[in-house]
């Protein structure tokens, strides 16, 4: 697998502007890594997402906020097509990764390039080492000795190495919740993803563990494009470069985080930010 | 008012307690009775010698112990693969009409009286081969194992959290790979203990053996000769008119129960360990 990613300039080919209203939104110089265009999602007859068009910029952190049931997690789960594992669901519209059509990509390859971390830590009932090595083995990337190196590097990147280096072969379930979540991040990083999706990664964690993960996101930004769904608006304000606000399956507003929190264009955004509903 | 609540509490507590004591009591009486009547006649000869001719004292049931072992081995070879793979199908791929029909049929098969299974094996194996055999007995016991093996596998696989499957698929594992490397390993201890309990259940079956492996007072080499088995020996010895045989039947009953208890205890131990590691 080649890891060289050509930062293609495809801004020109995508006419759809992000739903910004302030005009100050993401500068033209930034590369669009991942993008959706008029994306609709159905659970059976229920339409969960309405015409979502959104750009995720390379090496930026994008937060998706909104009240429960607004579709932000559903949206995130379409980006690596993990939503397909649920029956009777349908995606309409276009998702592109570096300009490639995500819906036409081989799903295995897609998920290697677009990693995911879930709301509740979900380490496999295996050893710490085997958890991190899982993706590498599944994708048949490294062989023999180099798996060890990948595991060590990934644990370093997830800021977990020092805590687990002496017990790599013990079960991952013995770790604390925060450690388990960082293990899941290490597991996702092991296959060297270009995009990392995080679905409320801190909602089951205490403030200290949360702070560690937020710090981690800043360091990961250099190699990854990060999308984080969060319920916690302070978290979005702290970590995200750009923020999108979802309501009832629609993207209401998308802009630089500062603008969203200080000077939102839509009334709904302002109401949500100021705690008038949600 | 408060008194009434206390009285009701005492009455109900005594009732539930009494019922528990009665149930446990029955088991203890059976165990004690078998131990008293059986263990006394248990000698080394019982495990090493062939049955003695009528009128001779001594002799043992070595052939029946080996016969039971061979029958159960065959039962496992037949019942476990069918049950396990069928269970994987029902748990992981089973949606729609066909799987629910299979599920229903399995429950029906579980309810078929063991003697009917014996007649079935007689028709399929004995009548074709024109003689009784270990093989026929193994087939009968194997068929009896299938329903429980299948449903236990299904239940334990279903018990594996969806989040683990998603975790594996988000790393690029295919569905088959996810099942083989994450789902089954997470459930394997439960499945194993279910199979052990299933085995313990058929180990005591007598009726299907009467039509299939028949019984044999001598060693039964290979797989196509009639063979003796512990439950079958207990049946024949217990209805015989000889006191010496009655004593041996008690001893055989004690050995059989001990084996079944042992298997049960091992299975529970394995299962108990799952809850910590799993």
d(CA B74, CA B77) in angstroms, rounded, equals 5
Instruction: Judge whether A249 is closer than 8 Å to chain B, CB to CB.
Output: no
Angle, alpha carbons B215-B264-B250 (nearest 5°):
45
Backbone angles phi, psi at A167, to 5 degrees: -135, 45
The answer on pLDDT for A12 being more than 60 is no
Mean pLDDT in order along chain B per 10 residues (278 residues): 88 96 94 89 90 85 94 96 96 89 94 95 94 95 96 95 94 93 94 93 93 92 93 93 90 92 88 58
C-alpha distances (whole Å) from B153 to each of B18, B138, B262, B278 are 35, 21, 22, 16
Average pLDDT over residues A231-245: 92
Locus of tokens 């009128």: B55
A24-33, A124-133, B48-57: range with lowest mean pLDDT:
A24-33
Average pLDDT over residues A28-48: 88
Instruction: Give me the helices (H) in chain A, please.
Output: 72-79, 107-113, 128-138, 145-157, 161-164, 177-189, 207-220, 233-239, 257-262, 267-273
pLDDT of residue B94: 80
- Per residue in A65-84, pLDDT (tens digit) is 999 888 999 999 999 999 98
pLDDT of residue A206: 86
Q: Taking a contact as any Cβ pair under 8 Å apart, which residues of chain B between 63 and 82 contact chain A? A: none
Which tokens in the block code for residue A91?
Answer: 């995606």
Which tokens in the block code for residue B255?
Answer: 């050995």
Q: Is A98 left (phi over 0), alpha (psi -120 to 50) or beta?
A: left
Q: Which residue of B has its CA nearest to A80?
A: B170
Which tokens in the block code for residue A155?
Answer: 């644990």
pTM of the model: 0.85
Among the partner residues A109, A125, A191, nearest to B186 by beta-carbon distance: A125
Whether the Cβ atoms of residue A273 and residue A74 lie closer than 8 Å to each other: no
pLDDT of residue A3: 44
Q: Which residue of A has its CA nearest to B170?
A: A111
Q: Do B181 and A138 touch (CB under 8 A)?
A: yes
Average pLDDT over residues A161-179: 93
DSSP readout, A126-168? SBHHHHHHHHHHHTT---THHHHHHHHHHHHHTT-HHHHTT-T
C-alpha distances (whole Å) from B26 to each of A249, B31, B32, B37, B225 are 62, 9, 10, 16, 39
d(CA B115, CA B70) in angstroms, rounded, equals 20
Break chain A down into helix, strand, coil percent, rounded to 5: 35, 25, 40
pLDDT of residue A1: 41
DSSP symbol at B123: I
Average pLDDT over residues A189-194: 92
- Find the Cα–Cα–Cα–Cα dihedral A181, A186, A192, A196, rounded to 10°: 20
pLDDT of residue A241: 95
Domains of chain A and CATH, by start: 32-272 (3.40.50.300)
Q: Which residue of B has its CA nearest to A141?
A: B172
Q: Do B174 and A184 touch (CB under 8 A)?
A: no
Whether the Cβ atoms of residue B192 and residue B200 lie closer than 8 Å to each other: no
Q: How far is A167 from chain B (nearest CA, A)?
A: 15
Instruction: Judge whether B174 is closer than 8 Å to chain A, CB to CB.
Output: yes
Count Cα neighbours of A29 within 13 Å in the Cβ-side half-sphere.
1
Q: Do A125 and B185 touch (CB under 8 A)?
A: yes
The answer on pLDDT for A122 being more than 60 is yes
- Per residue in A253-269, pLDDT (tens digit) is 999 999 999 999 998 89
């Amino acid at each position: 697998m080649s890891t060289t990613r050509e930062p293609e300039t495809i801004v020109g080919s995508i006419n759809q502007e992000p739903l910004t209203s302030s005009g100050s939104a993401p500068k033209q110089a930034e590369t669009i890594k991942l993008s959706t265009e008029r994306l609709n999602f159905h659970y059976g007859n229920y339409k969960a997402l309405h015409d979502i068009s959104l750009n995720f910029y390379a090496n930026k952190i994008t937060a998706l906020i909104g009240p429960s049931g607004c579709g932000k997690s559903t949206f995130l789960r379409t980006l690596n097509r993990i939503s397909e594992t649920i029956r009777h669901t349908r995606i309409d519209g276009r998702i592109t990764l570096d300009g490639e059509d995500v819906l036409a990509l081989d799903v295995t390859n897609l998920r290697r390039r677009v990693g995911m971390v879930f709301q509740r830590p979900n380490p496999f009932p295996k050893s710490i080492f085997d958890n991190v090595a899982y993706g590498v083995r599944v994708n048949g990337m490294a062989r023999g000795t180099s798996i060890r190196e990948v595991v060590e590097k990934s644990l370093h990147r997830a800021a977990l190495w020092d805590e687990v280096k002496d017990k790599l072969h013990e079960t991952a379930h013995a770790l604390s919740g925060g450690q388990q979540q960082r293990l899941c991040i290490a597991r996702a990083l092991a296959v060297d993803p270009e995009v990392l999706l995080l679905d409320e990664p801190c909602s089951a964690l205490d403030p200290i563990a949360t702070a560690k993960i937020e710090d981690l996101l800043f360091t990961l930004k250099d190699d990854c494009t990060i999308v984080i769904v969060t319920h916690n608006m302070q978290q979005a304000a702290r970590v995200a470069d750009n923020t999108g606000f979802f309501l009832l399956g629609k993207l209401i507003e998308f802009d630089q985080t500062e603008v969203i929190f200080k000077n939102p264009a839509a009334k709904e955004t302002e109401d949500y930010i100021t705690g008038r509903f949600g | 008012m408060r008194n009434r609540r206390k009285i009701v509490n005492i009455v109900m507590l005594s009732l539930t307690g009494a019922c528990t004591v009665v149930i446990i009591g029955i088991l203890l009486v059976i165990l004690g009775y078998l131990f008293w009547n059986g263990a006394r006649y248990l000698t080394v000869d019982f495990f090493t010698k062939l049955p003695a001719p009528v009128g001779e004292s001594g002799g043992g049931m070595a052939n029946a112990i080996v016969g039971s072992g061979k029958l159960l081995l065959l039962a496992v070879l037949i019942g476990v693969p069918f049950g396990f793979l069928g269970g994987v199908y029902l748990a992981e791929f089973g949606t729609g009409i066909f799987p629910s029909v299979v599920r229903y049929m399995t429950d029906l098969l579980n309810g078929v009286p063991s003697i009917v299974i014996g007649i079935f094996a007689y028709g399929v194996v004995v009548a074709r081969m024109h003689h009784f055999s270990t093989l026929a007995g193994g087939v009968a016991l194997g068929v009896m194992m299938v329903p429980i093996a299948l449903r236990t596998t299904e239940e334990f696989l279903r018990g594996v959290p969806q989040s683990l499957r998603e975790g594996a698929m988000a790393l690029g594992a295919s569905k088959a790979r996810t099942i083989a490397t994450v789902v089954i390993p997470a459930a394997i201890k439960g499945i194993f203990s279910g199979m052990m309990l299933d085995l313990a259940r058929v180990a005591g079956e007598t009726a299907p053996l009467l039509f299939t492996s028949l019984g044999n007072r001598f060693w039964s080499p290979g797989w196509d000769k009639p063979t003796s088995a512990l439950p079958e020996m207990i049946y024949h010895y217990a209805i015989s008119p000889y006191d010496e045989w009655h004593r041996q039947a008690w001893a055989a009953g004690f050995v059989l129960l001990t084996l079944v208890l042992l298997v049960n205890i091992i299975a529970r131990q394995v299962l108990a360990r799952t809850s910590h590691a799993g």
